[in-house]
Structure 1
Amino acid sequence: MKIVITGCTGFVGREIVPLLAAAGAELLLVGRDPDKISKTYPGLPVATYEGMVERAHGFDLLAHLAALNNNVAASLEGFRQVNVGMTLTTLERARLAGIGRFVHFSTIHALDEKNMSHYARSKREAAAAIAATDIKAVTLFLPAVYGRQWGGKLSVLNRLPRRGSAMLFTAVAALKPVVEARKIADFLMDGAPATFGGEAYLHDDKDQNTVFRAVKRSVELTFAIATLLLFWWLFTILWVCVRTQSPGPGIFAQSRIGRFGELFTCYKFRTMVSGTRQSGTHEISESAVTSMGRFLRKTKLDELPQVWNILRNEMSLVGPRPCLPVQTELIERRTAASVYQMKPGITGYAQICDVDMSDPARLTAYDARYNALRSLTFDFEILIATFLGRGQGDRTAQ
């Protein structure tokens, strides 16, 4: 791989440049201060932005790390000049140099539309501007990056003994998304494949974090057991109401796609008339929903029996909603996006954003975003939003 890198003297650059060089990549380091770059990376070729077009002919991709970061005090216009204007200028120079791929480094903060900081806004605008061009580009959304050292707010860990800092970092990484620098280097060496519409996400697998796994499972088991012990009477009342309101079973059992693409039986209070065909809710007529079913769906009480799936470790409280085996397009998209590395959930990020299974591409994009943002903190935010009534579930056909 022949890779041009801008902004290489920042923390992320200092972590990935040695990794790329060790992997055998041919590098060209670009910046406004070539002398500073040469002192940081002796022996590696350096160019200015103006000289990049001539020097970078025949390179495979350009990794644009240069940015005005959120630790800088500047006006919104100042952030736009660097994070939007400079990015588009660099993109055009990459095109003139014939570079095959442009990678715009961004932040997961830009994924939060409510985040109106100058940094997040300018990064969102840059991603939108890049997507509007016809150049082969990908915006890479990253959480906190770590490597040989910790940077940003995590830099305090560098002062601690290595063993103690590693243990503390495991706890911190359970609360917030993080990614190891080596994954970024591997991504660039693989040619920076975009996952959705010019977007890609890199992150550590939360299921490999012992603190995240232990706390999440403990909370889910506590919730499931407490629900069964405290609300058994509600289960009974709802079961009787469903049975007496329309012929058929009170509990509806249906095969769904679970973690690793394996089938499992999902349990819900029945909300539709018996004999309704097995299909996505958005393909089922509203007339198939019973009057009791409308109440259950509106209050989300139809999901209560899924606490049994939690006890069986087939589902989580929060995760992508499980689909039917017949929803092949959604299954293919989720497989390609590694969504099935996670357990399905009773509620999820897409659901509180009112994205349902009627749009497989959009739903998968939200599932992938959830995977990138997944943490104990984010799961808690989704649960609170669900209890406050956000999201209406899958809509029936009109």
Structure 2
Amino acid sequence: MNEFFKIRVFDIVFSFCGLLLLWPILLIIVVIGMFDTGSPVFIQTRVGKNQKPFKLIKFRTMTVDTQSVASHLASNTSITRLGHFLRKTKIDELPQLINVLKGDMSFVGPRPNLFNQQELIAERDKLGIYKVLPGITGLSQVQNIDMSTPKLLAETDKKMLDTLTIKDYFKYIIMTATGSGAGDAVK
């Protein structure tokens, strides 16, 4: 059986179970987020598999008026108090379980970029990165490689995809859940 098919099965099972078990936490964050920004859920168009757009769902960690740019280009001052906590604990990523269940994303894969990140799109396109679903985490995230280094990010994504096994799938998820990697850190 193809590794990516097995991974998709795990994605469906884990995202469904995660949403079923974590809905009280999700609801609490939504309520607290209403007091923090008035708009607790953040939805942004990202580049998906085969460069098709999809709506990425996250908890809002920045003020509502923050410009839509890659995290490394955003100002640290735009992160709210709740946002600092959500980012540090990675709870801001939990709504992406919906994206995984829908088939827009996988737990493990290249992080989905914005359509205005032309240099990264070109580097990833050369290496065939867009042939797979983007992910919540992956090798680049656990190695602290963010979108500020497009060529290195694309090469690391390619390395991960070329060698990805079920064992690696679980390894990247566990490493992320236990605090390895900062992902796309705001400077």
TM-score (normalizing by structure 2): 0.96
The structure with the greater share of residues assigned to helix is: 2
What residue is the counterpart of 2:20 in the other structure?
A: 229
Q: 4+ residue runs of structure 1 moved beyond 6 angstroms?
A: none
Shift of 1:211: 3.9
Shift of 1:365: 1.2
Shift of 1:340: 0.6
Unaligned 5+ runs, structure 1? 1-209
1-side partners of 2:163 and 2:50: how far apart? 20
Shift of 1:379: 1.2
2-side partners of 1:214 and 1:282: how far apart? 33
Report the secondary structure of 1:324's partner residue: coil
Shift of 1:279: 0.7
Q: Deviation per CA, 1:246-301: give whole Å up to 9, x if none.
A: 23x21100000001111100000000000211111111110011010011011111
Matched, 1:238 2:29: yes
Query: Which of 83, 87, 90 does residue 293 from structure 1 map onto?
Result: 83
**Structure possessing the higher relative contact order (Cα contacts under 8 Å, 6 or more residues apart):** 2
Q: Which letter does structure 1 place at the counterpart of 2:19?
A: L
Matched, 1:250 2:17: no
Unaligned 5+ runs, structure 2? none
Shift of 1:245: 1.4
**Equivalences for residues 103-122 of structure 1 within 5 A:** none
Q: Deviation per CA, 1:295-332: give whole Å up to 9, x if none.
A: 10111110100111111111000000000011110001
Q: Which letter does structure 1 place at the counterpart of 2:16?
A: I
Q: Which has the larger radius of gyration?
A: 1
Q: Which letter does structure 2 place at the counterpart of 1:262?
A: K
Shift of 1:214: 3.5
Q: Which letter does structure 1 place at the counterpart of 2:125?
A: T
Query: Which of 346, 349, 358 does residue 148 from structure 2 map onto?
Result: 358
Shift of 1:391: 0.6
1-side partners of 2:27 and 2:180: how far apart? 26
Count residues with an aligned counterpart: 187
Matched, 1:386 2:179: no
- Percent of aligned positions that are identical: 37
1-side partners of 2:9 and 2:184: how far apart? 29
Q: Superposition RMSD on alpha carbons, in Å?
A: 1.1
**Equivalences for residues 37-76 of structure 1 within 5 A:** none
Matched, 1:218 2:9: yes
Q: Deviation per CA, 1:140-193: give whole Å up to 9, x if none.
A: xxxxxxxxxxxxxxxxxxxxxxxxxxxxxxxxxxxxxxxxxxxxxxxxxxxxxx
